[in-house]
Amino acid sequence: MRPNLSRHVLLTAACACLIGLAAGFAIGKTTYPPLDVLLSTSQTVIGQPIAYPPGVPKVTAAIITMAPGQETGMHLHRAPLFAYILSGELTVDYGPDGKHVFKEGDAFLEAFNSDHNGRNTGSDLTRIIAVFMGAEGIANTEIQEK
Q: What is the pLDDT of residues 78-90, one digit of tens each?
A: 999 999 999 999 9
Which residues have a Cβ under 8 Å from the Cβ of 56 and sit 6 or more positions away?
135, 136
N residues, the chain? 146
CB distance 95 to 116 below 8 Å:
yes
- Backbone phi, then psi, for 75, in 5-degree steps? -155, 175
Whole-prediction pTM: 0.77
CATH superfamily of this structure's domain 57-143: Jelly Rolls (2.60.120.10)
Nearest to 132 by CA among 83, 85, 81: 81
Q: What is the pLDDT of residues 34-93, one digit of tens each?
A: 999 999 999 999 999 999 999 999 999 999 999 999 999 999 999 999 999 999 999 999
Torsions phi, psi of 18, nearest 5? -65, -40
